């Protein structure tokens, strides 16, 4: 194998962009616009330089994995996308120019086999399943900006360009390969990674022996550059325990991997050898770049990269970390393209400790959960209950308890009873500005500190902690109303009633702040709260994180008619206890008792 190209520092007299290009990849066309758009030089060496125009809106390019279309989505696939949507919404609140990319991975043996099993041709099969992802994302309130399908012609053009670049770098060669292949992972496995009966540890299915004449990517050439990347930027792989895992793989020595398949027809043909197709991962990873192209524009790698590459964050499950944190950066280095800022590998949703998935058939139907409980409940439960980065088991009982306690009681009830009191005693109108109402009141400071804390947690992808912090604000609001008891102060009249009217303003301002800060997690609920506070939907859509600052509610603002913003989930047991009729009514959702359902 030829020696690796050294990614050394270029002379410091060059501009940041030019410097990166000088050392990045001599044989290929420079991607100057990429560095400029990005606003900073991308360097795998220590001297990273900022040349961002001070006023430019910062990009935030965020991706989910591109989901295999072998079967419709399940809760495991939805989990990554919900988390990504929450992060994207938070970054938009920070006024970043967010490009949230998702999509479907449609080539390869696994997809061809599943299409055949359904009696469909691969294209029809991909259209059907890809569409089911789009429909689920709509149900879950997922606001992606780009949806890429790896069968899009624009994607194929980008893959071709990329392949040529890597070829020009001298990193592709032909050789025979013999090994054990897991079709579900679409990956050759090392025998020592497998279970005793040669089964894959993720899918519990036997790997099949394969022998092929393939094209290979010279991954081993990039060992040092990858070590260097991780040493200089330990945040490249998150959470930190996954960094150790990646460092371990690299340290144990990187082997070149095969990037074509002679036996698979359903794929992008290898340029100059149409008897082979490009390996599904060498194809799909490029979707993160091809997604950036606008519809109808000239499809090329160069153009795509100019639209905002590199990604700020790839959000993935831990099972595909090696592809994203080892193969992908090496591929990009070979093609002279910047590596992404970070890869975050979250844990699995499990059932009885096993990864929930299509292959094991132990999935939970997200569509069913949304139909029964609504998108906000589903989004909130999984982001609040599963520590982002770790595994988490689903239990319906826990789902109902959490959602009822936090969203229906702590938040929904507090708003409802406050608005009820305001209607009864103040004609639904605020008597003073929220700033004046909270003058000298420690609640205001506490709320502000908690909002700052939540911001920090969102920025560090501690989504569960952010939810917890925001709920703490709700708890403070409940405590405050209980302690101040405005209902009895109104009865006393005079100064007491004035104080009670101020207290209602304080609580409603607290609710306003919660609704903004929680909107990345529960966008629908937040909108309902915000409009009950007398604002319009357009005003809600225009909000930024800085609007969480205390003081948004002003004297004279008229609140809407109090209506429950979150329907409490009523279980069948509760219904029996109350001997109430078994129909859903008045702000209550009825839960059936299924837990996990088979795929």
Residue (161 or 186) nearer to ligand MSP, CB? 186
Least distance in Å: CB of 163 to ligand MSP? 16
Which tokens belong to 353? 């400790």
Q: Out of 284, 333, 403, 470, point to the residue binding ligand MSP (CB under 6 A).
A: 284
Binders of ligand MSP in range 426-445 (CB under 6 A): none
Q: Say if CB 291 and CB 101 are below 8 A apart.
A: yes
Q: Does 365 bind ligand MSP (CB under 6 A)?
A: no
User: In angstroms, rounded to a whole number, what is the distance separating the alpha carbons of residues 569 and 415?
Assistant: 18
- Minimal CB distance residue for ligand MSP: 317
**Residue 210: phi, psi to the nearest 5?**
-135, 145
Q: Out of 79, 90, 137, 279, point to the residue binding ligand MSP (CB under 6 A).
A: 79
Q: Does 103 bind ligand MSP (CB under 6 A)?
A: no
Q: Say if CB 147 and CB 102 are below 8 A apart.
A: yes
User: In angstroms, rounded to a whole number, what is the distance separating the alpha carbons of residues 134 and 144?
Assistant: 10
Helices (H), 105-217: 109-117, 122-139, 153-168
3-state per-residue secondary structure call for 210-265:
EEEEEEEECHHHHHHHHHHHHHHCHHHEECHHHHHHHHHHHHCCCCCEECEECCCC
- What is the signed CA dihedral for 259, 261, 264, 270, rounded to 10 degrees? 70
Q: Does 62 bind ligand MSP (CB under 6 A)?
A: no
Least distance in Å: CB of 80 to ligand MSP? 5
Q: Out of 44, 60, 68, 257, point to the residue binding ligand MSP (CB under 6 A).
A: 68
Nearest Cα neighbor of 337 from 304, 310, 315 is 310
Site string for ligand MSP, 170-199 (x = CB under 6 A): ------------------------------
Q: Which long-range contacts (CB under 8 A, 24 or more apart) does 578-586 make?
A: none
Q: Does 285 bind ligand MSP (CB under 6 A)?
A: yes
Residue (304 or 569) nearer to ligand MSP, CB? 304
Nearest Cα neighbor of 322 from 354, 340, 345 is 345
CA 393 to chain centre: 19
Q: Out of 357, 366, 412, 486, point to the residue binding ligand MSP (CB under 6 A).
A: 357
E-state strands within 405-519: none
Q: Binders of ligand MSP: how many residues, by CB under 6 A? A: 21
Binding segment toward ligand MSP, per CB under 6 A, in 194-202, 289-297, 353-361, 397-405: 353-361
Residue (98 or 291) nearer to ligand MSP, CB? 291
Q: Say if CB 143 and CB 118 are below 8 A apart.
A: no
Least distance in Å: CB of 336 to ligand MSP? 20
Binding segment toward ligand MSP, per CB under 6 A, in 61-69, 83-91, 266-274, 552-560: 61-69
Binders of ligand MSP in range 309-338 (CB under 6 A): 316-317, 319-320
Least distance in Å: CB of 105 to ligand MSP? 3
Instruction: Give the footprint of ligand MSP on this chain (CB under 6 A).
Output: 65-68, 76-77, 79-80, 105, 284-285, 287, 316-317, 319-320, 348-349, 355-357
């Amino acid at each position: 194998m030829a020696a690796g190209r050294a990614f050394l520092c270029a002379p410091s007299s060059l501009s940041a962009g030019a410097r990166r290009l000088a050392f990045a990849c001599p044989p290929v066309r420079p991607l100057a616009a990429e560095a400029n758009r990005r606003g900073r030089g991308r360097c795998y060496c220590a001297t990273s330089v900022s040349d961002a125009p001070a006023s430019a809106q910062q990009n935030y390019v965020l991706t989910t994995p591109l989901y295999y279309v072998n079967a419709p989505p399940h809760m495991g696939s939805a989990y990554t996308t919900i988390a990504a949507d929450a992060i994207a919404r938070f970054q938009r609140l920070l006024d970043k120019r967010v490009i949230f990319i998702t999509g479907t991975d449609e080539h390869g043996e696994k997809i061809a086999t599943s299409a055949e099993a359904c009696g469909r041709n691969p294209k029809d099969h991909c259209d059907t399943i890809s569409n089911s992802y789009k429909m689920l994302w709509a149900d879950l309130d997922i606001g992606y900006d780009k949806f890429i399908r790896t069968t899009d012609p624009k994607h194929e053009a980008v893959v071709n360009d990329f392949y040529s670049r890597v070829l020009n770098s001298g990193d592709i060669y032909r050789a025979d390969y013999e090994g054990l292949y897991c079709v579900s992972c679409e990956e050759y496995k090392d025998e020592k990674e497998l279970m005793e009966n040669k089964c894959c540890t993720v899918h519990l299915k036997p790997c099949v022996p394969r022998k092929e004449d393939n094209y290979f990517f010279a991954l081993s050439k990039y060992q040092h550059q990858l070590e260097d990347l991780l040493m200089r930027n330990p945040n490249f792989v998150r959470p930190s325990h996954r960094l150790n895992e990646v460092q371990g793989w690299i340290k144990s020595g990187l082997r070149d991997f095969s990037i074509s398949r002679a036996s698979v027809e359903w794929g992008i043909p290898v340029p100059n050898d149409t008897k082979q197709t490009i390996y599904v991962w060498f194809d799909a990873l490029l979707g993160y770049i091809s997604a950036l192209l606008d519809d109808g524009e000239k499809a090329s790698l160069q153009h795509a990269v100019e639209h905002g590459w590199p990604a700020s964050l790839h959000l993935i499950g831990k099972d595909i970390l090696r592809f994203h944190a080892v193969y992908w950066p090496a591929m990009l280095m070979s093609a002279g393209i910047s590596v992404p800022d970070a890869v975050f590998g979250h844990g699995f949703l499990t059932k009885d400790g096993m990864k929930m998935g299509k292959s094991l058939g132990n999935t939970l139907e997200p569509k069913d959960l949304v139909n029964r409980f609504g998108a906000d409940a589903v989004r909130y439960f999984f982001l609040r209950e599963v520590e982002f980065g770790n595994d988490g088991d689903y239990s319906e009982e826990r789902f109902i308890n959490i959602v009822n306690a936090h969203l229906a009681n702590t938040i929904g009830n507090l708003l409802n009873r406050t608005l009820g009191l305001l209607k009864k005693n103040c004609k639904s109108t605020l008597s003073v500005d929220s700033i004046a109402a909270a003058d000298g009141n420690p609640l205001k400071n506490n709320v502000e500190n908690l909002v700052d804390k939540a911001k920090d947690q969102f920025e560090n992808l501690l989504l569960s902690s952010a939810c917890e912090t925001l709920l703490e604000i709700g708890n403070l609001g409940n405590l405050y109303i209980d302690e101040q008891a405005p209902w009895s102060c109104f009865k006393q009249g005079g100064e007491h009633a004035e104080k009670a009217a101020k207290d209602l303003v304080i609580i409603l301002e607290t609710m306003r702040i919660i609704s903004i800060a929680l909107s990345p997690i529960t966008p629908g609920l937040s909108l309902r709260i915000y409009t009950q506070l007398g604002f319009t939907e357009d005003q809600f859509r225009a909000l930024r994180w800085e609007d969480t600052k205390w003081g948004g509610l002003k004297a004279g603002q008229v609140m809407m008619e109090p209506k429950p913003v979150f329907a409490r989930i009523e279980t069948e047991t509760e219904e029996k206890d109350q001997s109430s009729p078994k129909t859903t009514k008045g702000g209550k959702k009825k839960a059936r008792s299924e837990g996990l359902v088979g795929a």
